[in-house]
Structure 1
Amino acid sequence: MLLGDVAHVRTGDKGETSQISVIAYDPADFALLAREVTEVRVARHLGHLPIRQATRYELPELGALNFVLDGALAGGVTRSLALDAHGKTIGAHLLDLPIGEEEPA
């Protein structure tokens, strides 16, 4: 299954940092998210981006994970030469992360 089957995302941009919140549709799926959607897997899945550091924050009361991706926006939204490679696009790409099928890192 894909992450998008059990969760949706909300995103934000600040400078060259992208922030992605991954929110379970059903709070009962939070344990699956916490186990499978790690900093390492997110950074690997978004490996085409110049992420210097991925930091994950857990919000179990909300059934959500929040990822702060430093460097992901290559100088910032207004300075990047990338066309629309900002939070919403990155979040949509993250929803294609396979979960529940392989050994998570």
Structure 2
Amino acid sequence: MKLWEIAHSRTGDKGNISNISLIAYDMKDFELIKEKVTPEKVKDFFKDIVKSEVVRYELPNVGALNFVMYDALGGGVTRSLSLDKHGKSLSSYILEMEI
């Protein structure tokens, strides 16, 4: 199953840090997402861009996980040569993760 089947996502950035949220469409799927989408799996999934740690924060009352990925935007908006300097497309990409 792909994450997009049970969740949606939003991203944000600050400097060279990307922030990705995963929000379950249905609260009954939150535990599955929490079990399957670990910081280690997210770091491995984004291994080509994340050069430092991934920290996960849980928001159980809203059925969401928030991942903060350090050193993930090629130096940040003013330094990156990436076409997506803010990392907005990362929210779509994480939804392709197989769980």
Instruction: Give the structure-2-normalised TM-score.
Output: 0.95
Q: Deviations over 1:4-61 (max 9, x none)?
A: 1100001101000000010000011100010000001101111110330100001110
Q: Secondary structure at the match of 1:55?
A: strand
Q: Deviations over 1:60-93 (max 9, x none)?
A: 1010000000000011022100111533211111
**Distance in 1 (alpha carbons) for counterparts of 2:51 and 2:7:** 23
Q: Which amino acid counterpart does residue 43 of structure 1 have in structure 2?
A: K
User: 1:9 and 1:74, CA in 2 relative to 1: closer, same or farther beyond 3 A?
Assistant: same
Structure 1 segments unaligned to the other structure (5+ residues):
100-105
Higher helix share: 1
Q: Which residue of 1 aligns with 2:8?
A: 8
Moved over 3 A (4+): none
**Distance in 2 (alpha carbons) for counterparts of 1:77 and 1:96:** 24
Q: Percent identity?
A: 51
How much is the aligned-residue C-alpha RMSD, in angstroms?
Answer: 1.0
Structure 2 segments unaligned to the other structure (5+ residues):
none
Instruction: Give the structure-1-normalised TM-score.
Output: 0.90
Q: Secondary structure at the match of 1:44?
A: helix
Q: Number of matched residues?
A: 99
Contact 1:20 1:87 in 2 (8 A): no
